[in-house]
Amino acid sequence: MCTNRLKSAFVALSCVCASLFFGSWDSDSQSVIGPIPPSPHYDDPSQWFIVNRQGEADLFYIISTETGDHMIGSDTCHFADTYNAGQRGQMRIEMHAVDSFYSGKLNYYSPYYRQVTMQSWSSPETALARLPLAMSDCVRSWDYYIKHLNQGRPFILAGFSQGAHAMLEIMKRMPDDVADRMVAAYFIGYRITKEDTACCRHLRPACKANDTKVSICFNSVKTPECEIPVVSAGNLFCINPINWRTDTVGASFVYYDKEHQNDTLSARLDPKSKLLLIGGYKNDEPMPVIGIPGNYHHMELRFYYPYIRQNMADRVEAFFNNRTK
Each residue of 179-194: pLDDT tens digit? Answer: 999 999 999 999 999 9
The Cβ of residue 152 has, within 10 Å, a number of other Cβ atoms equal to: 8
> Which carries the bigger pLDDT value, residue 70 or residue 17?
70
User: What pLDDT score was predicted for residue 15?
Assistant: 42
Per-residue pLDDT of 298-322, as tens digits, reads 999 999 999 999 999 999 999 999 9
Per-residue pLDDT of 164-173, as tens digits, reads 999 999 999 9
Closest Cα partner for 193 from 164, 222, 221? 164
Per-residue pLDDT of 1-23, as tens digits, reads 444 444 444 444 444 444 333 33
* Among the ranges given (4-8, 16-20, 93-97, 206-210), the one the predictor scored with the smallest mean pLDDT: 16-20
Q: How confident is the model at residue 31 (pLDDT cuts 50, 70, 90)?
A: low
CA 235 from chain center: how many Å? 16
- Give residue 24's identity as a one-letter amino acid code: S
Give the Cα separation of 275 and 33 in Å (integer). Answer: 33
Q: How confident is the model at residue 323 (pLDDT cuts 50, 70, 90)?
A: confident
Give the Cα separation of 313 and 318 in Å (integer). Answer: 9
User: What pLDDT score was predicted for residue 22?
Assistant: 34
Cα dihedral across residues 91, 94, 97, 100: positive or negative: negative
User: What pLDDT score was predicted for residue 263?
Assistant: 85
* Among the ranges given (10-24, 53-67, 242-256), the one the predictor scored with the smallest mean pLDDT: 10-24
Contacts 24+ apart (CB under 8 A), 18-25: 18/288, 20/66, 20/67, 20/68, 20/90, 20/117, 20/118, 21/118, 21/287, 21/288, 21/289, 22/288, 23/68, 25/69, 25/119
User: What pLDDT score was predicted for residue 153?
Assistant: 98
Give the Cα separation of 25 and 48 in Å (integer). Answer: 29
Backbone angles phi, psi at 242, to 5 degrees: -100, -55
Per-residue pLDDT of 111-154, as tens digits, reads 999 999 999 998 889 998 999 999 999 999 999 999 999 999 99
Inform me whether the pLDDT recorded for 199 exceeds 50: yes
* Among the ranges given (26-30, 78-82, 200-204), the one the predictor scored with the smallest mean pLDDT: 26-30
User: What pLDDT score was predicted for residue 258?
Assistant: 67
Is residue 204 exposed (0-12), middle (13-18) or buried (19+ Cβ within 10 Å)? middle
How many C-alpha atoms does 170 have within 13 Å on its Cβ side?
30
User: What pLDDT score was predicted for residue 19?
Assistant: 39
User: What pLDDT score was predicted for residue 319?
Assistant: 98
Angle between helices 2-22 and 85-102 (to 10 degrees): 140
Closest Cα partner for 220 from 276, 270, 164, 272? 276
The overall average pLDDT reported for the chain is: 90
Is residue 249 exposed (0-12), middle (13-18) or buried (19+ Cβ within 10 Å)? exposed
DSSP 8-state assignment for residue 25 = -
Backbone angles phi, psi at 267, to 5 degrees: -135, 130
Backbone angles phi, psi at 147, to 5 degrees: -80, -30
